Structure 1
Amino acid sequence: MIYLSRVRLSRDPQVAALDALLDPAQGGARADAHHRLIWSLFAGDPTAERDFLWRAEGEGAFIVQSVCPPQTSPLFEPPEIREHAPDLRPGDRLSYLLRANATRDLRGEKRNRVDIVMHRLHGLPKADRNARRLDLAAEAASEWMAGQGARAGFEALRTQVQHYQTLTLPGHRGKRRGEPRFGILDLTGEIAVTDPKAFLAKLAQGFGRAKGFGCGLMLIRRA
């Protein structure tokens, strides 16, 4: 059993006074702050590993998928919680939303993991990258979703890129060259379920990497 919850930062003035800390403007710092915030809903065992996925919806709202229901927290309004157990059959068509850090492994003398969009952009002259950015992102995302589906029990029927951005990981200091960055794709589209058991298992685990920074949660509904 997994749970899907909607949570929102408390409107209490004491919490609102911390807005610059809880919801900073800089993207990488914001993702890090939000991750720590969501952890407060599952506090208890300091040795526990993360078993939840989350997605920022803006204006202090988040959607959280978790193995255990979130606790109450003075930083949040009472969470809206429901059980999330889709009843799926082969051939079911689903619309989805997915925020993903999509990567692939390049195999050579040394295994190297790359962001699928950055990898394509690096092959272009810098002057051409902005103009080709979304087209290359769409091509890369379609291939990536096809690969995900082959391993996770679905066929990707349609993949659309809503947005692509890169974030610098918090704590980096120094020149931009070599800074730890990762890309985030906001995807929407339609899939057809081929293996419900495999798909539901992957749905619980999440898709792609950087799950601690708000990626990986796929939201689905009947198409």
Structure 2
Amino acid sequence: MMYLSRLRLSRDPKVAALDVLLDPTPGGDRLDAHHRLVWTAFAGDPQARRDFLWREEGQGVFLVQSSRPPEDSPFFETPEVREHAPDLRAGDRLSFLLRANATRDLGGEKRRRVDVVMNLLHGVPKAERNRKRMDLAAEAADQWMTGQGSRAGFAPERIEVQDYRTVTLPGYRGRRRGEPRFGILDLTGQITLTDPDAFVQKLTQGFGRAKSFGCGLMLIRRA
């Protein structure tokens, strides 16, 4: 059983006074702060591992998929919670929304893992990167989703890139040149299920990496 919840920041003035800490400027520190914030709704067991996926919706709203319902938190209004147990069959067509840190393993002795869009941009002259950025993001996203589908029981029909951005890892304070960054793709589109059991398993685990930073949660509805 999974749960899908909407968490909305409390309007209590005591919480609003912490706004600069709870909702800092966009970047890695903001994602880190939001992750810690969402944790407050699942912090009943201090030994528990993270068993939820989340995404920021803006204006203090977060969508969370979890294996247990969220608890009351002093930072959020009463959570809106519903059971999330999709009844799926092979051949079902689903529309989806996904925010993902999409990577691939280059193989070799060191098994280096790279962001799929950065990897394509690396071979483009710097003067042309801005112009080709979204086209290459679409190409990389299509290839990555095809690979995901082959392992997770679906076939992509249509993949659209809504946005691609890079974020500095939280806590980095060094020079901009050489700073550690990761990419975030905002994807939407349509898929057809080939193996519903494999798909639901992957839906529970999340897609891609950087799940602590608001990536991996795929929202679905029937097409």
Question: How does the TM-score come out when normalised to structure 1?
Answer: 0.98
- What one-letter code is carried by the residue in structure 2 that aligns with 1:115? D
SS in 1 for 2:203: helix
> For 2:48 and 2:179, how far apart are their aligned partners in 1?
29
> For 2:180 and 2:36, how far apart are their aligned partners in 1?
19
List per-residue Cα deviations over 1:49-86 (Å, max 9, x = no partner): 11000010000000000000000011000000000000
Question: Does 126-135 or 165-174 show the bigger shift?
Answer: 165-174
> For 1:84 and 1:181, how far apart are their aligned partners in 2?
33
> For 1:69 and 1:154, how far apart are their aligned partners in 2?
28
Task: Name the structure 2 match of 1:24.
Answer: 24
List per-residue Cα deviations over 1:110-150 (Å, max 9, x = no partner): 21000000011111111000000000000000000000000
> For 2:107 and 2:10, how far apart are their aligned partners in 1?
47
List per-residue Cα deviations over 1:159-211 (Å, max 9, x = no partner): 00000000001111212233221000000000001111000000000000000
> For 2:109 and 2:93, how far apart are their aligned partners in 1?
41
> For 1:142 and 1:42, how far apart are their aligned partners in 2?
34
Task: Name the structure 2 match of 1:173.
Answer: 173
> For 2:45 and 2:84, how far apart are their aligned partners in 1?
24
The yes-or-no answer on 1:78 pairing with 2:78 is yes
> For 1:70 and 1:45, how far apart are their aligned partners in 2?
12
- What one-letter code is carried by the residue in structure 2 that aligns with 1:84? H
- Count residues in correspondence: 223
Task: Name the structure 1 match of 2:112.
Answer: 112
Over 6 Å off, 4+ runs: none
Task: Name the structure 1 match of 2:144.
Answer: 144
State the Cα distance separating 1:109 from its structure 2 match. 3.0
SS in 1 for 2:191: strand
Question: How does the TM-score come out when normalised to structure 2?
Answer: 0.98
Unpaired runs of at least 5, structure 2: none
Task: Name the structure 2 match of 1:218.
Answer: 218
Unpaired runs of at least 5, structure 1: none
- Sequence identity percentage: 74
